[in-house]
Amino acid sequence: MSALVRWFVAAISLLGEPAPLSVPASLLARTTMPEPSGIVWSPALSRYIVISDDTGLKESGTNHIPWLFTVSREGAFDAEPLPISGLDKLNDAEAICPGPAQTFLLTTSHSANKKGQDKKKRRRLYQLSLRDHALHIEAQFDLADAIAASGLLPTPSVDIEALAFHHDDLYVGLKSPQSAAGEALILRVREVMRALKQGALSPSSIQVFAKLPLRVEHSGAQIIQGISDMSFLADGSLALLANSPKQLPHDGGGALWLRKPDGSLVLLRRFVGLKPEGVTVSHDGKSLLVVFDNDRKQPLWIHFPLPAVLGPRPPR
C-alpha cells in the first residue's frame, strides 16, 4: 500500500461515529421505524429522499404502502411521507439514484422474500418523476428476467441493492450472487432509457462492469461481502457500501470501499456491528453521506468530507 493510500485510509478511520437521524412521533404513528436502504438528494424538494425496507403498519393494513421519506439537511425526517402515485404496494425497495431529466431510478431487490416466494412486486425497476409533492411512475420493468437470460451470472436468482446512473448507462450492484471466485459483481445496462420506454430489457444490453474482491476479516476468517449501495463521484471513482449476503457468514459490520478510476480498490472504513445501506454525495457536493439500517431502532447517518475520501492528489 502506497504512502498516499495509507494516509487517506487513516484519515477516514479517524472521522467521527454515525449520528442518529431524528424521526418525529407523528410519522411513527403511521409507519414502522424507517430502515434506510437508499438515499438521494432532491434539489426540487431541498431534501434527501430516503427509501426504507418496510413502510406502513401491518396491524393497520398499510404494510408496504408506497411511501418514501424526506430528510432535512440537518438530519430530521419530515412528518409527511412522500408517496408514489398509482402504486398500491412497494415491496422491498433497496436502491434509488438520480436518473436523466430530473427523474429518479428506484429498484426493489428482485429477490425472493423470507418465505422463499419470488413475487412480481419485488421485481421492479421504476423511473419516477416528482410533481405536486408526489412521485409518479414514468416507466418500469423487471430487471431479473433479462439478467437471468444474459447468462452472465452463476445463478438465475439475484439480490439487487445498488443502482447508479452514469454517462447514460445504468450500473446495478449485486448483494448476491458472487462470482465463482467470491467477487462482488456490478453489471452495466446499456440504453436503459430506451428499454424503459419499451417496457422490456434485452439481455444483450447487459454486461459485467466489475468484479470486486470485497473481503473483510471477522473472527479470524476472511468474509465475503456483497454490494449494498454505490454512488459515482465526480472523478469517476465509485463509492461502495458492502455487507455480507444472506445465507453467508456474517461480517460483523459493513464497510465503505472506494473503487478508483483505474479499477483499484481501497477499504476505507469498517462499521463494527452496523449495516451501511445507502450512500450519496451531499447536497453541497462537499461530502459523502452514508445512512444505516439500524434494525427498527433510530436510524443513523455519517458524513465523510470528499477530500478525505479521495485522498491527497499525487505530486506532479
- Within a domain: 94: yes
- Within a domain: 166: yes
State the pLDDT at residue 43.
96
The chain-wide mean pLDDT, for the chain, equals 91
DSSP the chain: --HHHHHHHHHHHTS---EEPB--HHHHTTSPPP-EEEEEEETTTTEEEEEES--S-GGGT-TT-SEEEEE-TTSBB-SS-EEEET-S---SEEEEEE-STT-EEEEE--S--TTS---GGGS-EEEEEEETTEEEEEEEE-HHHHHHHHT-SSSS--EEEEEEEETTEEEEEEEEPPPTTS-EEEEEETTHHHHHHHT---GGGEEEEEEE--EEEETTEEEE-EEEEEEE-TTS-EEEEEEPPTTS---SS-EEEEE-TTS-EEEEEE-TT-EEEEEEE-TTSSEEEEEEE-TTS--EEEEEEHHHHH-PPPP-
Q: Rounded to whole angstroms, what are the CA distances from 5 to 145, 169, 264, 313?
A: 40, 29, 11, 10
- Tell me: the pLDDT tens digits for 262-271? 999 999 999 9
State the pLDDT at residue 112.
67
Confidence category of residue 316, pLDDT binned at 50, 70, 90: very low
Which CATH number characterizes residue 76's domain? 2.115.10
Give dist(CA 120, CA 193) in Å, integer.
Answer: 21
Angle at 120 (CA atoms; ends 117, 121), nearest 5 degrees: 105
Q: Of 16-20, 142-146, 307-311, where does mean pLDDT reach its minimum?
A: 307-311
- Tell me: the pLDDT tens digits for 53-87? 899 999 999 999 999 999 999 999 999 999 999 99
Range of the domain at 172: 3-18+25-306
pTM: 0.92
- Tell me: the pLDDT tens digits for 91-134? 889 999 999 989 999 999 988 666 555 567 789 999 999 999 99
State the pLDDT at residue 159.
95
Q: How many independent structural domains does the chain possess?
A: 1
Higher-scoring residue by pLDDT: 166, 313: 166
- Within a domain: 313: no
Give dist(CA 250, CA 132) in Å, integer.
Answer: 43
Confidence category of residue 171, pLDDT binned at 50, 70, 90: very high
Q: Which three cell numbers stand for residue 73?
A: 439537511
In this prediction, what percent of the chain has a pLDDT beyond 90? 80
Give dist(CA 302, CA 290) in Å, integer.
Answer: 5
State the pLDDT at residue 310.
86
- Within a domain: 311: no
- Within a domain: 106: yes
- Within a domain: 314: no
- Within a domain: 312: no
Residue 20: is its pLDDT beyond 80? yes
Q: How many CA atoms lie within 13 A of 170 on its CB side?
A: 29
- Tell me: the pLDDT tens digits for 274-287? 999 999 999 999 99
Burial 167-185 (b: 16+ CB within 10 A, else e): eebbbbbbbbbbbeeebbb
State the pLDDT at residue 14.
47
Cα torsion 92, 131, 32, 257: sign: positive
Give dist(CA 23, CA 52) in Å, integer.
Answer: 13
State the pLDDT at residue 224.
96
Residue 236: is its pLDDT beyond 50? yes
Confidence category of residue 208, pLDDT binned at 50, 70, 90: very high
Residue 143: is its pLDDT beyond 70? yes
- Within a domain: 133: yes
State the pLDDT at residue 2.
57
